[in-house]
């Protein structure tokens, strides 16, 4: 079992749940739900694959020497960036995919990270309107 396996599993689970909710919403809110659903699925799955690739890259990078790790992580980032560029270009060109849905799907991993690690805490909401000076 990998070191970050549990974290990846939790985030992917949240992404899949959010994707399902968005797909169900698309049935009721859109005139043409098929393009939205395909967009969410396409973007969401590529986003998950990119995230898993990032995890594998970092696990391998920390075992290298620092100089080599830097080049390795940057080159792998460019590979993921190229993949994302191809996905967005296809979704904007193709008629059967909704571009906005694909972009939302690609960013679902980030929204899930924010929702799990920031917005899940009640303390975060309590601190929003509190001035730092008042705590002293």
Partner 1 sequence: MNGVDLIKACSAIGAGLAMIAGIGPGIGQGYAAGKGAEGVGRQPEAQGDIVRTMLLGAAVAETTGIYGLIVALILLFANPFF
**By CB under 8 A, residue 49 contacts partner 1:** no
**By CB under 8 A, residue 88 contacts partner 1:** yes
Contact pattern from residue 107 through residue 126 relative to partner 1, giving x for each residue in contact according to CB under 8 A and a dash for the rest: x-xx--xx--x---------
Rounded least distance, CB 131 to partner 1, Å: 26
Give the DSSP per-residue string, 27-70: HHH-SSHHHHHHHHHHHHHHHHHHHHHHHHHHHHHTTS-HHHHH
The span from the CA of 125 to the CA of 120, in Å, is 9
Range 11-40, binding partner 1 (CB under 8 A): none
The span from the CA of 93 to the CA of 86, in Å, is 11
Which two structure tokens, joined as six digits, stand for 24?
């169900």
The span from the CA of 35 to the CA of 42, in Å, is 10
**By CB under 8 A, residue 129 contacts partner 1:** no
Which two structure tokens, joined as six digits, stand for 8?
């990846």
Q: How far is CA 136 from each of CA 127, 130, 132, rounded to the nearest angstrom? A: 14, 11, 8
Q: Which of 12, 16, 45, 73 binds partner 1 (CB under 8 A)?
A: 73
**By CB under 8 A, residue 67 contacts partner 1:** yes
Rounded least distance, CB 106 to partner 1, Å: 7
- Interacting residues toward partner 1 by CB under 8 A: 3-4, 7-8, 50-51, 54-55, 57-59, 61-67, 69-74, 77-78, 80-81, 84-85, 88-89, 92-93, 99, 103, 106-107, 109-110, 113-114, 117
């Amino acid at each position: 079992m990998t070191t970050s396996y549990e974290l990846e599993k939790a985030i992917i689970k949240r992404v899949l749940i959010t994707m399902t909710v968005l797909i169900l919403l698309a049935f009721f809110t859109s005139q043409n739900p098929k393009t939205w659903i395909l967009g969410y699925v396409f973007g969401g799955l590529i986003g998950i694959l990119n995230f898993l690739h990032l995890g594998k890259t970092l696990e391998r990078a920390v075992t290298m020497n620092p100089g080599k790790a830097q080049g390795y992580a940057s080159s792998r980032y460019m590979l993921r960036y190229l993949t994302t560029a191809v996905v967005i270009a296809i979704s904007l060109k193709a008629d059967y995919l909704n571009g906005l849905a694909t972009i939302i799907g690609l960013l679902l991993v980030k929204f899930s990270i924010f929702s799990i690690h920031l917005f899940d805490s009640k303390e975060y909401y309590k601190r929003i309107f509190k001035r730092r000076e008042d705590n002293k």
